[in-house]
Chain A
């Protein structure tokens, strides 16, 4: 059985918090500051983790939860040296690659497969699972007006905003006017299917309960785990009498983190040491 190690960038990250509570090593990115220094091109950034850090990651199941550097000291350090955040992920890669398994690709938003925008999520999920239902959408180019004639009850969204489906709160002025993204307003009951590992663990009902087909959830989970390189995530589904429609995947687990059942499952998952994805580093 392998050990698990978690690396994260948010002190309130639900997986990191459970790791700390259960004694599983959880490294915050700011702990890397003493072993990181800006360098002239072509090296750009150097990470010299040292024997202790290397031994933590060597042969472990690595859970990468560095989704954004926002608000970290590392972010400020990189800015001071004029180093793009992408180089942090580039230099993190060999450390994470010491593990036997890696859950979540390294990379910034849109680069890591677990941080894809909505249209990419829908495309990739359907590529893996052609029978999956995803929302209708229109995506205009530049400042062109979108063609909404085929979109039933359209609403404008940010392509990056995963869970705002009643009212979009993340649309900035630029995205409101340029490359407009419109979707069909969802129908049915929203449910969150969450998973740790390759099979789905449970359902969370943020508004009302609904009958959800276990087999469909299982298929969606396996497809999502594969295409988003994740074994710890949540999916927003809308359920009607006729269909289950996949709306979004997120590795953050924010919707379900407060649920005691989820925390218990997280503890067991982290301690069992079988965390990690199929994309062995």
Chain B
């Protein structure tokens, strides 16, 4: 059977296809492409739903006109941006009355108005940036009160000078296509729920910017060398990496590293205190891979529905971190540690000249990644849901566990 036949047979609606990516099988590329197309189609259908809703009247008519006036590539940029997804989910939540408990009709109406306004702004901003790229400053920019406006995907920023002239600046890119965002409003935002964005936001010095940029580029290059298909995966699913500095290097707090992905913002990942020189390239490799894995899983879920309904009251204790985490995060964690283990193991094999400190770090992280799989209980048995879960999801996570147990000869004497 040739790879084309295999690829044609891979049903990207079936979650089992996600294993093709984790294991970098020969039909991985077609699965990646399939997920991206289904996500794009799903987001387009969702926008159409909003635009067709008569009760939103003049706002949606204006949105429709702007959207139709931009090219298909610009439309895709809007639909695949994390900003669009986040605001769409806000609107949907308010429409279905799922805003925080106790919210009344008036609050829901306000929430809808805010989200609809934000969606309008996202489309209008993309159009203005497209115009500016052609040397034209449209009315949206002329009347804007801000000095800077970022594109919804976060790859460029329109900036106004003191005389009111707008110019377009590209943000630095990792791997030629991933925006490195050190300063946009989303990068500086405070979010109480976020482990990264709830931390203080300090400005990076020029030297720290240079250091972060170089280290993350080296990390991505090392991923490309170790497992090129994972490099491809990252470039397909990650559009923006935001970096937060929460402490000066001289402070003890600077050793507080972190990274995260937020499901409502697919395509974005956040890193904390990457400016600290003590943080190794290998640690950055793992963070990027870790969060990118969340991104591809989230992209699949956005197109096909969540693996499992999330109930934040019931959380599974992660056998990796020991922290109680929601069911969906737990399913993601199984993939994340499986993929990171594969990457780091390949990195070790492909880098005979790796320095001692880096080698020790990688070996220690491999032991951490493996340990969560090497437990008596089936990983699927830890899910805390009374609803039926997709059988394939349970099967996949148990399959990854079985593979790790095989690799580490779990249950056997190690003599």
- Residue positions of A touching B, CB distance < 8 A: 39-44, 46-48, 82-84, 86-87, 90-91, 93-94, 97, 105-111, 113, 116-117, 119-120, 123-124, 127, 137-139, 141-144, 147, 149, 159, 179, 279
The answer on a CB contact under 8 Å between A93 and B363 is no
What mask results when residues 232 to 271 of chain B are scored 1 for a CB within 8 Å of chain A, else 0?
Answer: 0000000000000000000000000000000000000000
The answer on a CB contact under 8 Å between B198 and A87 is no
B414 within 8 A of A: yes
Output the nearest chain A residue to B366 by Cβ-Cβ distance.
A41
The answer on a CB contact under 8 Å between B192 and A116 is no
Chain B hits for A90, CB < 8 A: 371, 374-375, 410
B40 within 8 A of A: no
- The verdict on A147 contacting B193 (CB below 8 Å), with A41-B367, A119-B313, A141-B312 known, is no
B106 within 8 A of A: no
B101 within 8 A of A: yes
| Cross-chain pairs A/B with CB under 8 angstroms, 16 sampled | A39-B414, A41-B364, A42-B408, A43-B414, A47-B413, A94-B412, A105-B377, A107-B375, A110-B319, A119-B313, A120-B314, A120-B324, A123-B314, A143-B192, A144-B193, A147-B102
B194 within 8 A of A: yes
The answer on a CB contact under 8 Å between B374 and A120 is no
Chain B hits for A110, CB < 8 A: 317, 319, 322, 324
The answer on a CB contact under 8 Å between A123 and B376 is no
- The verdict on A107 contacting B376 (CB below 8 Å), with A44-B367, A141-B193, A141-B312 known, is yes
A116 to B313, CA, bound (A): 15
Least distance between B352 CB and chain A CB atoms (Å): 16
The answer on a CB contact under 8 Å between A111 and B317 is yes
B355 within 8 A of A: no
B42-87 interface with A by 8 A CB criterion: none
A123 to B100, CA, bound (A): 23
A248 to B193, CA, bound (A): 29
A149 to B192, CA, bound (A): 20
Residue with the greatest number of chain B CB neighbours at <10 A, chosen from A106, A138, A139: A139
B119-155 interface with A by 8 A CB criterion: none
- Residue positions of B touching A, CB distance < 8 A: 100-102, 192-195, 198, 312-317, 319, 322, 324, 363-364, 366-368, 370-372, 374-377, 384, 386, 407-408, 410-415
Across the A-B interface, give the 6 residue pairs with the lowest CB-CB distance, nearest first.
A110-B317, A142-B193, A41-B363, A143-B192, A86-B371, A90-B374
The answer on a CB contact under 8 Å between B315 and A139 is yes
A97 to B413, CA, bound (A): 11
Least distance between A116 CB and chain B CB atoms (Å): 7
Least distance between B348 CB and chain A CB atoms (Å): 9
Output the nearest chain A residue to B192 by Cβ-Cβ distance.
A143
A109 to B322, CA, bound (A): 7
- Contacts A127-B386, A142-B198, A147-B102 aside, 12 further interface pairs with beta carbons under 8 A come to A40-B363, A41-B366, A44-B367, A93-B376, A105-B375, A107-B319, A113-B377, A120-B315, A139-B312, A143-B192, A147-B101, A159-B324
Chain A hits for B100, CB < 8 A: 147
Output the nearest chain B residue to A90 by Cβ-Cβ distance.
B374
- The verdict on A48 contacting B367 (CB below 8 Å), with A119-B313, A120-B316, A137-B313 known, is no
A123 to B102, CA, bound (A): 25
A106 to B386, CA, bound (A): 25
- The verdict on A42 contacting B366 (CB below 8 Å), with A110-B322, A142-B192 known, is yes
Least distance between A49 CB and chain B CB atoms (Å): 8
Chain A hits for B193, CB < 8 A: 141-144
A119 to B316, CA, bound (A): 9
A6 to B193, CA, bound (A): 44
- The verdict on A93 contacting B411 (CB below 8 Å), with A107-B376, A147-B101 known, is yes
Least distance between B66 CB and chain A CB atoms (Å): 35
A87 to B371, CA, bound (A): 7
Output the nearest chain B residue to A138 by Cβ-Cβ distance.
B313
- The verdict on A119 contacting B364 (CB below 8 Å), with A105-B377, A142-B192, A149-B101 known, is no
A46 to B414, CA, bound (A): 6
Chain A hits for B407, CB < 8 A: 42
Least distance between A58 CB and chain B CB atoms (Å): 13
Output the nearest chain A residue to B314 by Cβ-Cβ distance.
A123
A45 to B42, CA, bound (A): 48
Output the nearest chain B residue to A39 by Cβ-Cβ distance.
B414
A93 to B411, CA, bound (A): 6
Chain B hits for A159, CB < 8 A: 324
The answer on a CB contact under 8 Å between B367 and A117 is no
Output the nearest chain B residue to A139 by Cβ-Cβ distance.
B313
A31 to B330, CA, bound (A): 36
Output the nearest chain A residue to B320 by Cβ-Cβ distance.
A86
Chain B hits for A82, CB < 8 A: 364
Chain B hits for A141, CB < 8 A: 193, 312
